[in-house]
Structure formats: structure tokens, C-alpha cells
Amino acid sequence: MTMFADRQDAGRRLATALLRFKDVHPVVLALPRGGVPVGFEIAERLAAPLDIILVRKIGAPGFEELAIGAIAEGTPIERVLEHDTIRELEIPQDYLERQIARQSQEIDRRRTVYRQNRAPTGVNGGTAIVVDDGIATGATMRAALRVVRRQAPRQLVMAVPVAAPQTLEVLRGEADEIVCLAAPEPFDAISLFYAEFHQLKDEEVTDLLARAAARRTPRGPARQP
């Protein structure tokens, strides 16, 4: 069931649904890698800063695509674990700790590569819009929302083009508002709803973040072309 041509198309359509937030001067926070092209389009339309929330999924042994949890950057690191799944699969604690350490290293690497000495954009007292290209199990998004909530935004909005219906219900308690264009049933894989859904490279992420930063002064209005 193809719904979007690509992530840029999804971002432009999602931006239209978020236009009512433009006047409150939100910060757009995208989950790399796939959420960044979506967030870029939203930030452009809303004349908002674009930044990232560094989150990594913890996959099950032998089935990396099956999320048994996620971690997100922060002090301390935010952990979200799917305890029922962990118990059902009898996953040992030492496996979890090894995977958390491994994914923490990847978060550190991405922080260096993606931010390139730019300071994180603060959201204290403002509106934060947390964006991804879609949500299946919701573990990574839940971790991201909890990290942003720690920063005490006045309003926390989750925005995605497509998500599993049952996952949306679970996440409603994590955000003040959810904007989702489609919640189809059955829901298998996010990629099925896109005509083009390639695996982004680091260079694509850094290019989009640099382009977004270049058209803004710190915490100021968008530069005129």
C-alpha cells in the first residue's frame, strides 16, 4: 500500500498538517537517519530550526529487526526495554548490556559526525516536534520522546507520516499531541508505504543538517534568500 513517493514527499505532506504550529516557533527534532529528510521538509515549511535526537534500537539475538528496546542520548542514557518480549525470548541480561554498550558507542560516533561541533538546540519552555519516517514497534520513538521531555518543553508533539495503530495508542501517553497522516491495518514494514525508501548514508544526513543550519541565525528567523 504505497502512500508516499519518498521521505521528502512524506515530509512535505506532514508539514502541511503541522502548519498550525508555525506561529509558536517550534524546534523540529528528527530521528536519524530516516527521520532527517522528513524533518528537513517540515523545518523548511515552518521556518524552524532542525536538530536530531540520537536513538538506537536494541535488536533481539539473531533477529536484529525485532526491537526489544532502544536507547537515546542523554545524561543518563534513556533506556526503553520491552520487558514482556525479553522475558518471552529469555534474553539474558549480559546480552542486553553488551548491546546497550555497542549502541552507545554508535550514538557517540553519530554525535561527532552529524553535529560537527554544533551545540544541540534547546527546547526548554518551547514547542518540540519530534519526527521520524514511520513507527512500527515504537521503542526508538518512546526513548526519544522521553529524552526530549526531560528538557521541559512547553509542548511535546510527535509527528510521523505513518504508524502502526496499536503503537500509536501506546505512545499517546508520551506526547502532548500526535500528528500522524496514516495508521493502516495491517501494518508490516514502514518501507512498504514508500515507493522509494533507500538506506540513508551519513553524508546525506550531514548535508541536510548543514543546509538547515545555513539558512538560520542562532535562535533567530530564517534568512531571506
Instruction: Quote the pLDDT of residue 95.
Output: 96
The answer for residues whose C-beta is within 8 angstroms of residue 204's C-beta and 6 or more apart is: 33, 36, 37
For the chain, the straight-line distance linking the first and the last C-alpha, in angstroms and rounded, comes to 38
Eight-class DSSP state of 193: G
pLDDT confidence tier of residue 117, bands split at 50, 70 and 90: confident
**Structural contact between residues 75 and 104, judged by C-beta atoms closer than 8 angstroms:** no
Residue 24 above 80 pLDDT?
yes
Q: Which residues contact 134 (CB under 8 A, 6 or more apart)?
A: 34, 160, 161, 162, 163, 190, 193
CB 194 within 8 A of CB 181: no
- Confidence label for 64 from pLDDT (cuts 50, 70 and 90): confident
Confidence tier at 76 by pLDDT (50, 70, 90): confident
DSSP 5: S
CATH numbers and ranges of domains, the chain: 7-214 (3.40.50.2020)
Q: In sequence order, what are the residues at sequence separation of 6 or more whose Cβ sits closer than 8 angstroms to the Cβ of residue 49?
A: 27, 28, 43, 121, 212, 216, 219
Percent of the chain with pLDDT over 90: 85
What value does the mean pLDDT take over residues 122-135? 96
Q: Given this model, what pLDDT does residue 219 score?
A: 47
At 79 the pLDDT is 93
pLDDT at 224: 38
Ramachandran angles phi, psi of 204, nearest 5°: -70, -40
For residue 223, give the C-alpha cell: 534568512
State the angle between helix axes of 35-46 and 7-17 in degrees (0 to 180), rounded to the nearest 10: 40
**Within a 13 Å sphere around the CA of 187, how many CA atoms are in the beta-carbon half?**
17
Q: Is the pLDDT of residue 220 over 60?
A: no
Give 40's pLDDT tier (boundaries 50, 70, 90): very high
Whether this model's pTM surpasses 0.85: yes
Mean of the per-residue pLDDT values for the chain? 92
Task: Please compute the mean of the pLDDT values over residues 28-43 and round it to a whole number.
Answer: 98
The per-residue pLDDT for range 138-185, each reduced to its tens digit, is 999 999 999 999 999 999 999 999 999 999 999 999 999 999 999 999
How many CB atoms sit inside 10 A of residue 35's CB? 30
- Is residue 200 predicted with pLDDT exceeding 50? yes
In whole angstroms, give the CA distance from residue 91 to residue 60. Answer: 8
